[in-house]
Structure 1
C-alpha cells in the first residue's frame, strides 16, 4: 500500500507491515522508529476491534438471509455477497494484529494467502456496494424494466463476474508476496522481478481506479437519478429513502477517499516528487489512520445495508426469539419465558431495492 522515501518492493494493498518495511528500508537520516512504535501501540487493538465487529455483524447478515430471506431477489444476493466479502476482509485482520506486535511468523504460503484474502475482500466489497447502487437505480428509476432484470439469477451472474474481477485484480498477491528476512526480522511483502517504481505506479492506479474512481462515478450517477425521481414522487417514505441514500454515499466517500488520497501521495514520494523526511513520516501516520478508517467501513455495511431496513429488524428479532439458549438457561433457574411467535410467511417476499435495502 505504501512506503517511504526509498521504496521497498511491496504491494499497494497491504496492511501495517509496510511500516516495518519503511522502518528498515528508509534512508538512515530519516528515522521511522516513531512510526513503528505508533503502529505497535495502536494497530493491534484497532484490528481486533474491527475483526470482532465485522465478524459479528456480517455473520448475522448471512444467517438471517439464509434463514428468512431465502435469496429470492437480486438485492438479497448482493447483500449476501457483500457480507461474504467483508468476512474475507476481516478474517485476515488477526494475522496483521499479531504481526504488529512481533514479526511475520506464518511463512510464505500464509503470507500469500492472507494478503490475497485481504485484497479480494477489499475489491469485491466495493464492487458489491457499486452493484447495490445499480440495483436501487433499477428498482426506483427503471421500475418497469426492473421487474424482469432484478431476479436472483441475474444477481448470481453479475456476482460471479464481480468475484472473477476481484480474484484477477488480487492475483499479484499470490505471485509476488513473500515472507522475507531483513536484519533478523521477517516481514511479508512483495518481491517484484523488475522495476519497483513501475509496479508501484500500476498498483496505485489499479486501486485508485477500481477501488474509488469507477465506483464513485457509478454511485454518483445512480443516486443522483434516484434522488431526482424521488423528489418528483409523492411518497411518505421518500424522505427516509433520500436520507438513506445520502448516508450510503457520505459513509463510502468518508471512509475510502482519504485512503486513496494517501496512496496517491505515497506514489508521488516513490516518484521523487516528495522527498522531505518529515513528509514521509506524516504519510506513514496518515496511511495507518486512513487504512483503519477503511477497515471499519466493513463493520458499518451490515448496519447501512441491512439492519436499517424495517423488515430486517423484524427478521433479527425473530432470530433471537427463536434462539433457545437464553430460554434453556432461564428454565434451569426456574424462570419461564413465553415468546410471542410471528408467522414468517409474511416476510418471505421478494426484495425491492427501495424498501428492503434502504
Structure 2
C-alpha cells in the first residue's frame, strides 16, 4: 500500500509553502480532528464496559486502537506536505512503518469481524472451542501478520529526491523495477483482493443461510451489512488501483513512452486522493462498527428469544 509519498522541499533550506498539497493537507487535518477523538471515545466506552468473554468488543477495541495509531501520525505528514521532510531517515522509517502496520491491522480486524460473525451465527460451537486463550492467539497473530506485511515499508522507506518534483521526500527506494512490481502486487493481493473476498463471502453466506431469521429479517441489518462491504470497497479500492498504475508505469517506462507519460499524469493527479480515502476510513470506522456491534447484539438477542419461545411452545 503506497501510503503518503509526501512532496517536500529540501530539508536543509528554510521551509517554503507549496500550494499543491493544500487540499490533501486540509483533508488529513479533518481526519485527525474527527478520527482521533472518535476513536478515543470508542476505546474509553469499550474499556468501561469490557467483558472478557465478548470477542466482538475485543475486535472493536482492536480496530479503534489501530485506527488511532494510524491517525496520530498525521501531523507529521501534514507538516511534511506543506514544508518538506525535515525529521531525518529514522523518523521516516518509524512513522511509515507505524502507519502501514496500523492500517493493515485495521484492515485485518475488519476481515476477522466478518469471519467471526459468520462462525458465531452458523457454527457457534466451533467458535466456542477457541475460548479466551484462542481468541488472544488470534489477536496476537493478527498484529504479527500486519507487522510482517508492513516490513517492506520499514526496509525501503528513506529520505530521498522524488523524481517528478525534484524535492526531498520520505519515499520508497526500490532496488529494481521487478522488486517494485513484486511488492505492489503482493500488497494488492494481501491488502485488498484476499480481505475483500473473505468479507464478501462471509456476509453473502451468512445472509443466504440465515435470511429467514431475525439476524437479517430487518432492512436495518441488511443495510448495515451492505454499508460495511461498500465502505470497505470505496475506501480501499482506489489505493490499489494506484498500485496497479504504478506497476504499469514501471513496466511501460521504456517500451511505451506515451502511455507512460499519461499514466504518470494520472498518478500525480489521483495519488493523494486515494491515500486520503484510506485515512478517512479510519475516521468512519468508529461510527460504522460501533453501530454494527450494537445492532448485531440486538438482532442476535432477538434470534435467541424467538428460538426460546418456539421451544417453549413445542413443549
Among residues 134, 138, 156, which one is paired with 1:154 in the alignment? 134
Q: Trace 1:9-24 onto structure 2 (pairs within 5 A).
A: 13-17=2-6, 19=7
Greater share of helix: 2
Preserved CA contact (<8 Å) 1:104 1:188: yes
> What stretches of structure 1 of length at least 5 have no aligned partner?
1-11, 22-35, 312-350
Partner of 1:242: 222
Q: Trace 1:265-284 onto structure 2 (pairs within 5 A).
A: 265-272=245-252, 275-284=259-268
Deviations 1:41-78 (A, max 9, x none): 21111111111211111111111111112443211111
Partner of 2:240: 260
Q: How many residues align?
A: 287
Partner of 1:171: 151
Deviations 1:282-318 (A, max 9, x none): 222122112211210111111111145548xxxxxxx
Residues 1:292 and 2:276 aligned together = yes
Deviations 1:102-147 (A, max 9, x none): 1101111111111001100121110000000011101222234334
What is the rounded CA distance, in whole Å, between the counterparts of 2:134 and 2:189 in structure 1?
25
Among residues 224, 231, 236, which one is paired with 1:251 in the alignment? 231
Partner of 2:58: 77
> What stretches of structure 2 of length at least 5 have no aligned partner?
10-17, 302-315
What is the rounded CA distance, in whole Å, between the counterparts of 1:119 and 1:353 in structure 2?
34
Preserved CA contact (<8 Å) 2:8 2:167: no
What is the rounded CA distance, in whole Å, between the counterparts of 1:86 and 1:198 in structure 2?
32
Q: Trace 1:1-358 onto structure 2 (pairs within 5 A).
A: 13-17=2-6, 19=7, 37-38=19-20, 40-149=21-130, 151-180=131-160, 185-192=167-174, 194-195=175-176, 197-233=177-213, 238-272=218-252, 275-307=259-291, 309-310=293-294, 352=297, 355=300
* Change in 2 beyond 3 A, CA 1:234/1:299: closer
Scaled by the length of structure 1, the TM-score of the pair is 0.73
Q: CA deviation at 1:188?
A: 1.3
Q: CA deviation at 1:352?
A: 4.9
* Change in 2 beyond 3 A, CA 1:228/1:43: same
**Mean Cα displacement is larger for which, 63-72 or 115-124?**
63-72
Scaled by the length of structure 2, the TM-score of the pair is 0.82
What is the rounded CA distance, in whole Å, between the counterparts of 1:203 and 1:235 in structure 2?
40
Q: Secondary structure at the match of 1:271?
A: helix
What is the rounded CA distance, in whole Å, between the counterparts of 1:104 and 1:145 in structure 2?
50
Preserved CA contact (<8 Å) 1:219 1:249: yes
